A and B are shown apart, each in its own frame.
Chain A
Amino acid sequence: KNEVEQSPQNLTAQEGEFITINCSYSVGISALHWLQQHPGGGIVSLFMLSSGKKKHGRLIATINIQEKHSSLHITASHPRDSAVYICAVRSTLSGGGADGLTFGKGTHLIIQP
């Protein structure tokens, strides 16, 4: 069974700060997702990674498969980035359509103006 751990659980920062959220997992994966959940509850997919690094606007996601670790970075953070950021993985034990994701508990990020 894959365990997904995120840190920190809560993070409050000032507008403009560089933000890093970490995710580690216990078994091999075929894909890792970074998701964003706003107070209304809806979930938005930010990135899907299987190796290396991806960048979208001010968001950067990296993954180190050997170390079983991923990071989500936000540059020039803004109050509208305030949300819960969730890491979720698809285990390599899954095959075909059997690919339900295992989720971390999320990191609650607040960016103060």
Chain B
Amino acid sequence: EPEVTQTPSHQVTQMGQEVILRCVPISNHLYFYWYRQILGQKVEFLVSFYNNEISEKSEIFDDQFSVERPDGSNFTLKIRSTKLEDSAMYFCASRVAGAHEQYFGPGTRLTVT
């Protein structure tokens, strides 16, 4: 069964460094999402992406964040200058056109030291 994949599974970085989290959505899906979950807290929406542009973003998704679909398969989340409070699990999700169900990747655990 097709699934959303994410790499790396765990990323450790120093404060102020740039990180890129990668996602490969399911191949026929056209809508893409990033969510994050700080340890012990609820999952929060960051951004949705469709037709090569951002459809919606939350207050969390400030100028330090960017998303890109550099080729036909990858969907990336870049954090320009990481802060301690960016430490969280980041989930990618995707869905097919015409359906509401979102399929989640396994997540990338980002630790900023």
Interface hits, B54-112 → A, CB 8 Å: 55-56, 58, 89, 91, 100-104, 106-107, 109
With both beta carbons as reference points, the residue of chain B lying nearest to A103 in the complex is identified as B43
Contact size range, A:
20 to 34
Please give, as numbers and ranges, the residues of chain A lying within 8 Å of B91 by CB-CB distance.
Answer: 43
Contact size range, B:
20 to 34
Which of A97, A98, A103, A104 has most chain B Cβ within 10 Å? A97
Q: Mark A50-78, 1 if CB is under 8 A from B, else 0.
A: 10000000000000000000000000000
Given contacts A41-B89, A105-B42, contact A100 B56 (CB under 8 A): yes
Give CA–CA (A94, B103) in the complex, Å. Answer: 19
Q: A45 near B102 (CB under 8 angstroms)?
A: yes
Please give, as numbers and ranges, the residues of chain A lying within 8 Å of B48 by CB-CB distance.
Answer: 97-100
Q: A42 near B107 (CB under 8 angstroms)?
A: yes
Cβ-neighbour of A97 out of B42, B56, B58 (below 8 A) = B56
Please give, as numbers and ranges, the residues of chain A lying within 8 Å of B100 by CB-CB distance.
Answer: 30-31, 33, 48, 50, 90, 99
Tell me how far the C-beta of A23 lies from the nearest C-beta in chain B, rounded to whole angstroms.
12
What is the interface of chain A, defined by CB distance below 8 A to chain B?
Answer: 30-31, 33, 35, 40-45, 48, 50, 86, 88, 90, 94, 96-106
